[in-house]
Amino acid sequence: MSTQQLLGKIALVTGGTTGIGLAAAQLFIQEGAKVIVTGQNPDTLAAAHKLLGDHAIVIKADARSVADADRLGEEIKRRFGGLDVAFLNAGVARFAPIEAGDEAFYDDLMDTNVKGIVFTMRAISPLLRTGASVIVTTSVVDSKGIANASIYSATKGALSALVRSLAVELAPRGIRVNAVSPGPITTPIYGKLGFPADALKGFEDSMTSQVPLKRFGSSEEVARTALFLAGPGAAYVNGVELPVDGGLGIA
């Protein structure tokens, strides 16, 4: 049931054409926001445009590209003049033992997960209105050791530190910066890991066994947490990393 928490607000959701980002875009629209969604896959861009309808603007942008981040900021300024909510969610997950992580592997993760957030934030910071909320997607792996996730974990740890610093830096402008930290969530990202079917099933079973709630979460559950951080109920919440992991982080 909609409570119109974001009525009249302008919200950006990066990585918003699938999974958590798409669920958040749908929820933000239900709550009254006009939403800008980014992605780079033509098929998912088209599908998101069809699903979200006239309440969303879908923009092609590569999270690794500084030029695309700057163009995104210019487009938001041209269309809306400012932003009330920014859900910086675009990212990738790759897993490999440390000896198998070559330079390309490292660069892909760091450029997408860290550089992408940093330069998107640089582009949109002047557009953030007083009272705006920024939410960054981190991960349970930034605080819990998981085998074969060292480089991925490092990217999310960098974002966790970034959130804390930005929360202090932007507070004088009345802007809050927080993070949502998912654990195992059922999203299309798992199909992109490159695991054989049996290995993927083994990974899912292993993760489920470690989660106290004994299940994967849903994109909608993470989206609802992002909505809380975006909305008036979190008006005095700043610089936190809110886990949505079924208790995995404390298990």
Residues belonging to the active site: 152
Look at residues 142, 149, 144, 155 and name the one whose alpha carbon lies nearest to residue 210.
144
Number of Cβ within a 10 Å radius of residue 184: 20
User: What phi and psi, each to the nearest 5 degrees, are found at residue 21?
Assistant: -60, -45
> Hey, is 99 helix, strand or coil?
helix
Determine the Cα–Cα distance for residues 230 and 25; give it in Å rounded to an integer: 12
Retrieve residue 184's tokens. Answer: 């195992």
**CB atoms inside a 10 Å sphere around CB 108:** 14
